[in-house]
Amino acid sequence: MCGICAEIRFDGQSASPDRISQMSACLARRGPDGGGQVVRGRVGLGHRRLKIIDLSEKAEQPMVDAELGLTIAFNGCIYNYSELRRELEGKGYRFFSTGDTEVILKAYHAYGPDCVKRFLGMFAFVIHERDSGRVVLARDRFGIKPLYLSHNAERLYVASSLPALLRTGDVDTSIDRVALHHYMSFHAVVPAPLTILKGVRKLPPATVRVVERDGSFKDEVYWSAPFGPRLGDEKLKPDDWRDLVLESLRTAVARRMVADVPVGVLLSGGVDSSLIVGLLAEAGQAGLTTFSIGFEEANDEKGDEFIYSDLVANHYGTKHHKIFVPSSELMEHLPGTIGAMSEPMVSYDNVGFYLLSREVSQHVKVVQSGQGADEIFGGYHWYPPMAGAADPVSTYASAFIDRSDAVLRRQLSPDWLAEGDESRAFVERHFAMPGATDPVDKALRIDANVMLVDDPVKRVDNMTMAWGLEARVPFLDHELVELAARIPAAEKLKQEGKGVLKEAARLVVPHAVIDRPKGYFPVPQLKYISGPYLDMVRDHLRSEPARARGLFQESYLETLYADPSAHITPLRGSELWQVALLEMWLQQHGVGG
């Protein structure tokens, strides 16, 4: 897990070591254990290193294989690298290091861009072919590892974070109106390849991009989970699905223990993280370290779930750390949290993950986390209404879309309106794609491939890497996801959601953490904004940069200031926090209008 960056020129100029250094400096917290760069003519690669596998200097990056004529900057972890190495050694390849980075280089040489189909893991990488001048970019199946791009006729910049690209001073920072529509309507999710800035795009998940010497490129999407039954699935009973899920999850959790350093677990006390702890204990992992976080109550809403995380920690005898964050410290660390965001992310639990990661990074470098289970196994409240829906798009939109296009046009200033209802049109296009004939599967597919990537997954990556901490997400093992996509929707919707996963969990963890109300990562102070929090957001929205930008109609903002708690989105989000967070992010990263 690291930070990578690159500059590739198409105009006859050389890549700039200084620009590579500027981008790398912005990525330093992602890789606090070292850094390096390789600049050769028109191509320069930079890297910041977090030592997880092969702690020696032989694994330093960018890694150059002079014999093969390849150079790579890689971020992530290939869990099956040992098996792939043996396979490649059988083909005659010789290795000078013991980690996964060199395995990618050899696999690319052996199999070309199709090598990504052999990787089990999370990754984003840039490979430069010395002889052809070609550059290849790739991102893992769920976009767990980020890859931001700024591409024009003269050059291509690549980096693990959007702010790193801004360090070049050569990026169009004007706001993208379509992306703004998504941010305001699609629960702050801006689908790839868009970002909030016109001059920055992100490589979509499960995509390989081959960039030729002249700047032309071609993309290949190399994976997608087929939703719906396979031949013979109709014979499977509920217990069969339960057993298949448990066995697949056992494999996924075991894969993510690959490391040359200790691995901990982020334990919320919910089914998902508790099951990870249970499976690790079942597999004989001794001395497990677990971590939970809580906040002060606000508006009579509890700010922690320690009762459940304590239950699991005590049951398995983990070395458990509880972090309680008082309101004063929450306010203090909001600027740091926003600074760690590659894109504006409105979910309250960003600050929770940020502060949790600060504590965790003092004890371990790698953790497993439960993100993805709700999107894969049907845990959210908007999935049951989808069952048998006559109009799936409208049913989904009524639960997930924060505000209609008509309402948004009364809230955004006229200069910032998109041409049409971009967010609903996006859902319509996605739902119309082949496959996923069941309305529930349509919702699960868009959530797994879009919402999950650009909300929970991005949030966990950004907040953990801000403290040099690697987070691994076993529920996004692509073989587990392929299995889940086959399971009938009715099995997933049982027991108020995630029924088949809960049945698997009953064979492993205490039932008290299963038969409980669904929780989430609560930060009540940012949902029910008042007192100093209200002063803070109002100051930002009334500041000179915000007034000059003029994103929102003043009458709308005054309505929010008057009674913030009265304006909560369908997904329990604060409208005031949503608009304020966007402006705070733009100001913190020095972005103009």
Q: Active-site residues: which are they?
A: 2
Q: Please say whether the beta carbons of 411 and 552 come within 8 A.
A: yes
Rounded alpha-carbon distances, angstroms, from residue 265 to 356, 469, 470: 11, 12, 11
Which residues touch 161 (CB under 8 Å, ≥6 apart)?
A: 3, 26, 27, 30, 146, 148, 342, 462
Both tokens assigned to 438: 């069941």
Query: In sequence order, what are the residues at sequence separation of 6 or more whose Cβ sits closer than 8 angstroms to the Cβ of residue 211?
Result: 8, 134, 135, 136, 137, 156, 217
Mark 358-396 as b/e (b = at least 16 C-beta within 10 Å): bbbbeebbbbbbbbbbbbbbbbbebbebbeebeebbebb
List the end-to-end C-alpha distance of the chain, in Å, as a whole number: 33
107-137 in b/e burial notation, b at 16+ Cβ within 10 A? bbbbeebebbeebbbbbbbbbbbeeeeebbb
Burial of 237 (0-12, 13-18, 19+ CB in 10 A): exposed
Q: Which residues are 324's β-sheet partners?
A: 294
Closest C-alpha among 23, 37, 39, 28 to residue 2? 28
Give the dihedral sign, CA 186/187/192/197: positive
Rg (CA), the chain: 23
Q: Which residues contact 73 (CB under 8 A, 6 or more apart)?
A: 4, 5, 6, 45, 46, 47, 61, 62, 125, 126
